[in-house]
A and B are shown apart, each in its own frame.
Chain A
Amino acid sequence: MTPLNILLVLSAGLFFAGLFGVAARRTILMQLISLEIMLSGPALGFVAVGAYHGSVEGTGMFLMVLGLAAAEVALGLAIYLHMRRATGGDSDLAHRLRG
Chain B
Amino acid sequence: MLAYFLLLVPLPPLGGFLLLALDPYRLERRAVMAVALAAGIAPLVLFLPVALGYFAGSIGDTIAPAFTLNFGQFEVALAMQLDALSAIAALTVTVVASCVMIYAADYMASARVADLRRFFALMNLFLAGMLSVVMAADSIVFFLGWELMGLCSFFLISYNMNSPRAFAAGRKAFVMTRIADAALLAGLLLLFLEATSVRIADLIPAGLAAPEQRAVVIAVLLLVGALGKSAQLPFQTWLPTAMAGPTPVSALLHSATMVAAGAILLIRFAPLIEAHPGVAAATAIAGVATAVFGALCAVAQTDIKRLLAYSSISQIGFMLLAVGMGAPGVAMAHFVVHALFKSLLFMSAGVLSHASGGTTEIRRLRGSAYAAPISFATYVVGAAALAGFPILSAGWWSKEAVLGAAVMAGPFGQFLWLVALGSAALTGVYAYRPVWSALRSPVEPLPAIKENWLAVGPLIFLATASVLGSFLVGPIVRTMGGTVPHAGLGVEVMGALAAIAGLIGSVVVSFSPVWSARIKRARRLRAGMQMDAIYYAFLVRPYRRVVHKLSGRNARKDTSHEAETDRTDGGMGDPVGTATVNLGLWLARVVTAPFVPDRFDLVTMRSTREVRRAGVWARRLQTGRLRTYVMAIAFGLGVLVILGWGMTWG
Chain A residues engaging chain B, CB cutoff 8 angstroms = 19-20, 22-26, 31, 91-92, 94-99
Contacts and interface: CB of A to CB of B under 8 A. Distances in A.
A91 B622 contact: no
Find the residue from B620, B621, B626 having the highest chain A CB count within 10 A.
B626
A98 B620 CA distance: 8
List the 8 closest A-B pairs by CB distance, nearest first. Answer: A99-B622, A95-B624, A98-B624, A99-B619, A97-B624, A23-B630, A23-B631, A91-B626
21 contacts: A19-B630, A19-B637, A22-B627, A22-B630, A23-B634, A24-B627, A25-B627, A92-B625, A94-B624, A94-B625, A94-B626, A95-B623, A95-B624, A97-B622, A97-B624, A98-B622, A98-B623, A98-B625, A99-B620, A99-B622, A99-B624
Interface of B: 618-627, 630-631, 634, 637
A26 B627 contact: yes
Given A26-B627, A99-B620, 19 more contacts: A19-B634, A20-B634, A22-B630, A23-B630, A23-B631, A23-B634, A24-B627, A25-B627, A31-B626, A91-B627, A92-B625, A92-B626, A94-B624, A94-B625, A95-B624, A97-B622, A98-B622, A99-B619, A99-B622
Contacts of B620: 99
Contacts of B626: 31, 91-92, 94
Nearest to A31: B626
Nearest to A95: B624
Interface centre among A20, A94, A99 (most CB of B within 10 A): A99
Nearest to B616: A99
B627 A92 contact: yes
A96 B627 contact: no
Contact of A96 (B618, B619, B624, B637): B624
Contacts of B619: 99
Contacts of A99: 618-624
Contacts of B621: 99
Contacts of B631: 23
Contacts of B622: 97-99
B140 to A, nearest CB: 90
A95 B628 CA distance: 11
A24 B624 CA distance: 16
B278 to A, nearest CB: 104
Contacts of A91: 625-627
A20 B630 CA distance: 9
A17 to B, nearest CB: 12
A88 B618 CA distance: 29
Contacts of A19: 630, 634, 637
A99 B619 CA distance: 5
A26 B628 CA distance: 11
Contacts of B637: 19
Contacts of A94: 624-626
A48 to B, nearest CB: 19
B624 A23 contact: no
A97 B624 CA distance: 5
- Chain B CB within 10 A, most for which of A19, A20, A23, A91: A23
